[in-house]
Structure 1
Amino acid sequence: MKHLITAAALALGTTLAAGAAWAEGQTHHIAFHVNQNDPQVMNMALNNVANVNKYYQSQGDTTVIEVVTYGPGFNMLVAGKSPVADRISAMSLEIEGLSFAACGNTHRKMSEKAGHKVALLDEAGVVPSGVVRLVELQQQGYAYVRP
Structure 2
Amino acid sequence: MKKIFAAALIAITAAFALTGGAMAEGQPHRLAIHVDQNDPQVMNMALNNAANVASYYKEKGEEVIIELVAYGPGLNMLVKDKSPVADRIASMSLEMDNLSFAACGNTLEGMKKKAGHDVPLMSEATVVPSGVVRLMELQEEGYSYVRP
Tell me the TM-score normalised to structure 1 length.
Answer: 0.82
Contact 1:32–1:45 under 8 Å retained in 2:
yes
The offset of 1:63, in angstroms, is 1.2
Structure 1 residues 25-62: Cα deviation after superposition (integer angstroms, max 9, x where no partner): 54111000000000000000000000000000011011
- Give unmatched runs, 5+ long, in structure 2: 1-23
Structure 1 residues 48-104: Cα deviation after superposition (integer angstroms, max 9, x where no partner): 000000000011011111000000000000001000000000000111221000000
- Give unmatched runs, 5+ long, in structure 1: 1-22
Q: Matches of residues 122-133 of structure 1 in structure 2 within 5 Å?
A: 122-133=123-134
Percent of residue pairs identical: 69
Residues 25 and 59 of structure 1: is their aligned pair in 2 closer, same or farther, counting only changes over 3 Å?
A: farther
Give 3-state SS (helix, strand or coil) of 1:31's partner.
Answer: strand
Contact 1:34–1:42 under 8 Å retained in 2:
yes
Give 3-state SS (helix, strand or coil) of 1:81's partner.
Answer: coil
Q: Which residue of 2 aligns with 1:47?
A: 48
Which structure has the bigger radius of gyration? 1
Q: Which residue of 2 aligns with 1:13?
A: none
The offset of 1:24, in angstroms, is 6.5
Q: Matches of residues 81-92 of structure 1 in structure 2 within 5 Å?
A: 81-92=82-93
Contact 1:76–1:83 under 8 Å retained in 2:
yes
Contact 1:25–1:60 under 8 Å retained in 2:
no
Aligned-residue Cα RMSD (Å) equals 1.2
Q: Matches of residues 1-147 of structure 1 in structure 2 within 5 Å?
A: 26-147=27-148
Contact 1:37–1:75 under 8 Å retained in 2:
yes
Q: Which residue of 2 aligns with 1:8?
A: none
Higher helix share: 2
